[in-house]
Structure 1
């Protein structure tokens, strides 16, 4: 990617290269008034991801997961986070990776996934963008146990939640994950506008 004319990178230093890469950048940024301003920013890179909300129209349910999230605990919240299935791309095509994650996390295999959009959730400090998908599932689509991979530290509970209850769980604070909220609201809007 080329550097735009309003940005000069003075220095970049890798602070950590373990689970992801944390880099401190010293930059000069040309503001809208034409003045140059020096800034120091830290950027975390762990790769890009995909997420998917599966909906069962016969039962009016969505397929969600619940799992432990250490950063949520560190922020002082209940670390057992309710989420739409998701995973890192790790070099795979987003739809292919999402299909594998659905089987791994939930045990469900679906025939059709629709790519909705890509979005950044924390662009002030994290490079990750997430590919958002939706799909339809039925109980007969279960092909594996699900629950995630123990070797990756996963211990995932699969939840079949009525859509209206899931929307209420956003309002009550039971669902706090941004990607899940976006997907649930997209489904609710789609159903309203038919």
Structure 2
């Protein structure tokens, strides 16, 4: 099999990492890389040789649209095949999210993804943090942002999403307290969404002061 050129950056050199070999075993939208390596243990010795499959997804962004005037959040519902494979309801409640283009700023991507998936136009962003979601087998780092928006009535909006990607999302507007309750009840099955809402629970009063001036 002739491999196509890699579309992801090489694993950087590091004092704790000793590479043995690497090959791209699958590559379409994302690549699956098979890496053989050793690493420096905490006692200073080298580990035995390991073989890991590494899913190369790159950088992502997730956004929590928040209306500080009405104290409501905008979430989306969409069909997720992996959720069905895991035995869950395949329609998940999530924050808008997406992947960054090469060298794209996360704030630019945050505004774009919010508009595509909710139809809303953020006019202000607040960084939440950068996190790995599947560090046991994927290199994706996700940039989390809160976004100031003006939310419509009623609570459930029209179907949206990027037609070219067969994406179909539905806007779900909820009171902040209701969304916090969904996290507490484990109704939110998507980890980034739960993290964003827990962050908002801590910072909500500050945002309401700063974003309504």
TM-score (norm 1): 0.91
Give the gaps of 5 or more residues in structure 1: none
Q: Where do 4+ consecutive residues of structure 1 move more than 6 Å?
A: none
Structure 1: distance between partners of 2:23 and 2:133: 24
Identify the match of residue 98 of structure 1 among 88, 110, 118: 110
Q: Deviations over 1:56-104 (max 9, x none)?
A: 1232210000101111111111111111111100222111111111111
Q: Is the 8 A contact 1:104 1:146 kept in 2?
A: no
Number of matched residues?
190
Inter-CA distance 179–24: structure 2 relative to 1 (3 Å threshold): same
Q: Deviations over 1:107-129 (max 9, x none)?
A: 11121112221111111111111
What is the root-mean-square deviation of aligned Cα atoms in Å?
1.8
Structure 2: distance between partners of 1:86 and 1:13: 29
Q: Is the 8 A contact 1:64 1:84 kept in 2?
A: yes
1:72 corresponds to: 83
Q: State whether structure 2 residue 124 is matched by structure 1 residue 112.
A: yes
Q: Is the 8 A contact 1:103 1:146 kept in 2?
A: no
2:204 corresponds to: 191
Q: Which moved more, 1:51-60 or 1:157-166?
A: 51-60
Question: CA shift at 1:41, angstroms?
Answer: 1.0
Inter-CA distance 170–123: structure 2 relative to 1 (3 Å threshold): same
TM-score (norm 2): 0.83
Q: State whether structure 2 residue 97 is matched by structure 1 residue 86.
A: yes
Question: CA shift at 1:2, angstroms?
Answer: 4.1
